[in-house]
């Protein structure tokens, strides 16, 4: 009986072949939702920041409860202080989502610029067989960071929503392509024992 990676992959392909229509439908839905997110980028940015704030707030409350529940534990104060910090930061984010979206966008711009420069340097200092793609990634990432930074603080109102929409569209297209490719796959032969 074969239990190697090949049988796992074949099992996965058979599932994709059998459900290709669902992959296609989910992909189309993701593309539509991504387009909506891009068209409502400001709304999506603010909502995303608020969701992040609520997650921090609830996580902080749970950490505080856990700290008191296990107060004999040696990590009581760290758990308590971490929970309080999470809750305070979550509350601040929830009550000021626009300002935090602007701040997050500035951090993203800096991250893209610094990360892009590191990739450019890496392409020249540590050349690999596909160094050009590393260089191209660095140039595009740096340019993206500069474009966001140059339009800051206004870019803070729409960048997060735009990126979420783009990601949803790209994910949707990948699902559509998987579904269409799976539709034409031949049925796998029974595995040999």
Confidence class of residue 7 from pLDDT cuts 50, 70 and 90? very low
At residue 54, does pLDDT exceed 50? yes
Confidence class of residue 172 from pLDDT cuts 50, 70 and 90? confident
Q: How far apart are CA 122 and CA 29, in angstroms?
A: 38
Tokens of 186: 């031949």
Lowest mean pLDDT among 71-75, 132-136, 173-177: 71-75
Burial of 171: CB neighbours in 10 Å, binned 0-12, 13-18, 19+: middle
Q: How far apart are CA 42 and CA 134, in angstroms?
A: 32
Closest to 183 measured CA to CA, from 32, 28, 27, 13? 13
Domain extent listing, the chain = 7-183
CA 159, 160, 166 angle in degrees (round to 5)? 85
At residue 189, does pLDDT exceed 50? no
Lowest mean pLDDT among 9-13, 106-110, 127-131: 9-13
At residue 44, does pLDDT exceed 50? yes
- pLDDT, tens digit, for every residue of 112-160? 899 989 889 988 888 777 888 888 988 988 998 899 899 888 888 888 8
Distances (CA, A) of 109 to 37, 106, 115, 175: 20, 5, 10, 29
Closest to 110 measured CA to CA, from 151, 142, 153, 157? 142
Confidence class of residue 5 from pLDDT cuts 50, 70 and 90? very low
Judge whether 129 and 168 are in contact, CB under 8 Å.
no
Both ends of the chain: CA-CA distance in Å? 4
Tell me what pLDDT residue 163 has.
Answer: 85
Mean local confidence (pLDDT), 16-34: 87
């Amino acid at each position: 009986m074969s239990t190697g990676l090949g049988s796992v992959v074949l099992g996965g392909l058979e599932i994709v072949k059998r459900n290709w229509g669902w992959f296609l439908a989910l992909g189309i839905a993701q593309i539509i939702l991504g387009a909506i997110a891009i068209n409502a980028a400001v709304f999506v940015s603010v909502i995303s920041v608020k969701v992040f704030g609520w997650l921090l707030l609830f996580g902080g409350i749970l950490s505080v409860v856990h700290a008191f529940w296990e107060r004999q534990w040696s990590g009581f104060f760290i758990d308590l202080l971490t929970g309080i910090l999470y809750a305070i930061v979550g509350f601040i984010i929830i009550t000021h989502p626009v300002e935090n979206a602007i701040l997050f966008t500035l951090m993203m711009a800096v991250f893209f610029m610094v990360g892009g420069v590191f990739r450019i340097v890496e392409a020249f200092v540590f050349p690999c067989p596909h160094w050009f793609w590393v260089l191209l990634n660095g140039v595009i990432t740096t340019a993206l960071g500069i474009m966001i930074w140059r339009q800051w603080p206004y870019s803070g109102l729409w960048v997060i929503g735009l990126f979420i929409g783009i990601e949803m569209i790209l994910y949707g297209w990948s699902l559509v392509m998987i579904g269409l490719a799976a539709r034409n796959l031949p049925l796998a032969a029974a595995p040999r024992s």
